[in-house]
Amino acid sequence: MPAVTVCPCTFVLFGALGDLAVRKLFPALYQLDRAGLLHADTRLVALAREAGEAGQPLASIQQGLRQYVPAVELDAAVLQRFEARLSYLSMDFLSPQAYPALAEKVLGTEPLIAYFATPASVYGAICENLAGVGLLERTRVVLEKPIGHDLASSQQVNQTVARYLPETRIYRIDHYLGKETVQNLIALRFANSLFETQWNQHYISHVEITVAEQVGIEGRWGYFDKAGQLRDMIQNHLLQLLCLIAMDPPSDLSADSIRDEKVKVLKALAPITAEQLTQQVVRGQYVAGSSDGQPVPGYLEEDNANAQSNTETFVALRAEIRNWRWSGVPFYLRTGKRMPQKLSQIVIHFKESSHYIFAPEQRPLVSNRLIIRLQPDEGIALQVMTKEQGLNNGMHLHSRPLQLDFSETYTRTRIPDAYERLLLEVMQGNQYLFVRKDEVEHAWRWCDQLIAGWTELGDSPKPYTAGSWGPLAASTLITQDKRSWYGDS
Ligand code: BG6
């Protein structure tokens, strides 16, 4: 990947007063500025409908910075420089009449980057209006997820945007791809020949991917209830992680080489028929319980909830990849809201050696595992069997981790937020951490058949207590294969 070169650009942010922009995007831009990664001539234009009192919208953004950037990282000189780059324009994104003012504002400041932090339903109209004032000719556009809510609607979004600009200038966000440890997966797999030789069905028994959140719906009930955990998390984040674990080595690190390999994995995912669904997929919905020792309401009792909702807040499933590398290796995926802790991790379980020379009673001791922690406490641990120290212990085995803890190893470097990395890559014109149209569509195709199966069966999510690891059936999903979720207590 190319080293960082800082070029000037004008960054226009549609939806600049929304939660994502205030909580994540402006703080990420500020951090880039603080790290010296915004060119002196880079301009930031915040766009939203709100007219507000003069200066009021900008004040909300500035207040957001002070709230979401850790106090020790707020530097008065950087803040001043950052705020001097920032301007605000109130506009109705759907109205063509609003765009000449934008064109005038950004005139002659190329390249232009347009970030759509808006619902996907307005992407087409924004593109059409930008094109109408000649602002799309060299512009890169960044599209936030979700791209549609099923295959048909995602194709519609993709086709609409494609009318105005080529795929090479479209950056679809999956913020998990911006996480440091997720990028480290690429280094781990393809810069260490040690792993690549073992990375297949001959040596790996199964793979677990867990993305657990401790939070509930956090005031997003209206959005979330139309989506559910399968659409919100599996279709994008978990399938992207699965692709990075399962893909073949790309021939180089170009965006298309990486994305071609990911698409092959998505195409090889075995469909799960309605008959297999009850064995291979578990849906759950949390009921009242506790979080960090405090009582919390159930999903149906959250603010603005519809008490009849059938939407899942938890999914666990067993996926299979039909290719030479992975045939017969289950990938267990699990994600949910209101889990006991925030935890994203991938565990690769290696097979036992076929001939065992130690005392037979030690055989059930764990075999080798590679644990990749994405958050919190980013790091990688390889569990290896060692001999217990001492004269009295004979050849008594113990499992010990060979550990690489990123937060400790690189104490002087803060771990950047995923959006910092992604915004930097867009500014540099690198697409390798963004999702190509066909990846989104293949992922939807696979998820759509699960949703269709649930509808056909009239499936209802199984209740689980907030603060637990999901419904009992999620344990059974893996224990029926004589395995268990790593680390559940
Ligand atoms: C988003 C989902 O894409 O990812 C949210 O829409 C979820 O529901 C979030 O909470 C999780 O991201 P992270 O980075 O906190 O794991």
User: What pLDDT is recorded for position 431?
Assistant: 96
Q: Name the E strands within 267-368.
A: 281-287, 289-291, 294-296, 314-319, 331-336, 343-350
Residues 184-223 have pLDDT tens digits of 899 999 999 888 889 999 999 999 999 999 999 888 888 8
User: What pLDDT is recorded for position 97?
Assistant: 97
DSSP state letters, 118-161? S-GGGHHHHHHHHHHTT--SS-EEEEPSP--SSHHHHHHHHHHH
| 10-residue mean pLDDT series, the chain (489 residues) | 74 95 96 96 93 76 92 94 94 96 87 94 95 92 94 96 96 95 90 91 97 91 92 97 97 95 98 93 97 95 91 98 97 98 96 84 82 90 87 82 76 82 95 96 97 94 97 96 86
Pocket test for ligand 1, best of 25, 173, 176, 213 (most atoms within 8 A of CB): 213
Q: Using a pLDDT cut of 70, give the percent of the chain over it.
A: 97
Contact, 61 vs 16, CB < 8 A? yes
User: What pLDDT is recorded for position 2?
Assistant: 44
Alpha-carbon distance of 8 to 44, in angstroms, equals 11
Q: Which residues of 322-350 are buried (b: 16+ CB within 10 A; e: fewer)?
A: ebebbeebbbbbbbbbbbbeebbbbbbbb
Alpha-carbon distance of 415 to 470, in angstroms, equals 30
- List of residues 6+ apart from 433 with CB closer than 8 A: 177, 178, 183, 421, 422, 425
Q: Which residue do the tokens 């109705």 mark?
A: 92
User: What pLDDT is recorded for position 1?
Assistant: 45
Does ligand 1 come within 6 angstroms of the Cβ of 180?
no
Atom 4, ligand 1: residue with shortest CA distance = 233
Alpha-carbon distance of 11 to 444, in angstroms, equals 30
Contact, 474 vs 334, CB < 8 A? yes
Cα distances (Å, whole numbers) of residue 60 to 17, 56, 116, 218: 8, 6, 19, 20
Alpha-carbon distance of 30 to 420, in angstroms, equals 9
Pocket test for ligand 1, best of 23, 143, 172, 175 (most atoms within 8 A of CB): 175
User: What pLDDT is recorded for position 247?
Assistant: 97
Cα distances (Å, whole numbers) of residue 162 to 174, 417, 430, 432: 19, 29, 19, 19
User: What pLDDT is recorded for position 357?
Assistant: 86
Atom 14, ligand 1: residue with shortest CA distance = 176
Does ligand 1 come within 6 angstroms of the Cβ of 213?
yes
User: What pLDDT is recorded for position 408?
Assistant: 67
Does ligand 1 come within 6 angstroms of the Cβ of 232?
yes
Residues 252-305 have pLDDT tens digits of 999 999 999 999 999 999 999 999 999 999 999 999 999 999 999 999 999 889
Alpha-carbon distance of 477 to 332, in angstroms, equals 9
Tokens encoding 197: 């030789």
Cα distances (Å, whole numbers) of residue 357 to 53, 353, 363, 397: 77, 10, 9, 12
Q: How far is CA 55 from the centre of its chain?
A: 34
Contact, 245 vs 207, CB < 8 A? yes
| Alpha-carbon radius of gyration of the chain | 24
DSSP state letters, 161-216? HHTTS-GGGEEE--GGGGSHHHHHHHHHHHS-HHHHTT-STTTEEEEEEEEE-S--
